[in-house]
Amino acid sequence: MDRLDHFRETEVSFPHGAGDRFVAPIRRNLAIVDPSPLRRECLRLALLQQPRRWHVTDVAAALELAQLIRRGEGFEVILLGGATCARIDLADLGLLSAAAPETPILVTADCDDAEGARVILRSGARGFLPSSLGLKVLMGALERIRAGGTFVPLSLTESVLPSRVERSRETPWRELTRRQCDVLALISEGKSNKLIADELTMTESTVKAHVKQIIKRLHVANRTQAALIASRASWQSARH
């Protein structure tokens, strides 16, 4: 009996169900698009050091990634980077969104002008991360976007909030029903309407109605602003 035959016999002699203990890790496939080789390499090495590791594919141009996607490559998140907001080509956002419409895009760049970041968000990015923030924030942003949420720093939303909302920002839960607080808690975790509906045992249309009321009662423009206000106010302890 050669070694291969011996291996085959040994393989089939495992106790029934023993293989069930070996569970494949959750795949976290990340595509990094950035013209800077240094930024790409530093991000790759940093992500490999994290407990929740990402399998990273990095390319210099959006066209390269679009070609990989068309050949069958799949990714959970696309990280589009540039030195500044002005260096982020909105055409690249459009190209990647068209190539992988179900894949969220997180943009990272240095941006002194908040409006530049807002333009990027309106052009199809699911989130924006200023390069002045650290690796821990990046990891949280990637996980949030991967789970179906969005990520926008509060600094990009504060200037568009009306001054009359200051009291609501400090104690936003006072404007909401208990059920709306439950929904907002899950929104602030980056969960989609479908995941919220599953967790709270309600229909997706009911969740949408709650979200609409939350936005109205907190006097904000969208669910992202509502989640950011709630997170900063540390309001969840007041739900109990």
Domain of residue 148, CATH code: 3.40.50.2300
Read off the tokens for 185. 């808690």
Do 221 and 107 share a domain, yes or no?
no
Do 168 and 151 share a domain, yes or no?
no
Q: Which of 158, 180, 212 is the last residue of a domain?
A: 158
Report the alpha-carbon distance of residue 141 to residue 127 in Å, rounded: 8
- Mean pLDDT, rounded, for 5-19: 40
pTM: 0.57
Do 49 and 141 share a domain, yes or no?
yes
Q: 20 to each of 17, 24, 25, 39, 79, how far by Cα in Å?
A: 5, 10, 13, 40, 34
- Mean pLDDT, rounded, for 135-157: 85
| Host domain of residue 221 | 163-239
Query: So what's the pLDDT on residue 26?
Result: 55
| Mean per-residue pLDDT of the chain | 79
Do 56 and 144 share a domain, yes or no?
yes
Read off the tokens for 191. 């969960």
Do 76 and 185 share a domain, yes or no?
no
Do 69 and 180 share a domain, yes or no?
no
- Mean pLDDT, rounded, for 15-39: 69
Report the alpha-carbon distance of residue 58 to residue 209 in Å, rounded: 40
Count of domains for the chain: 2
Report the alpha-carbon distance of residue 34 to residue 86 in Å, rounded: 14
Give the pLDDT band of residue 165 (cuts 50, 70, 90).
very low
Judge whether 54 lies within some domain.
yes
Read off the tokens for 13. 């002699």
CA-based max dimension of the chain: 83
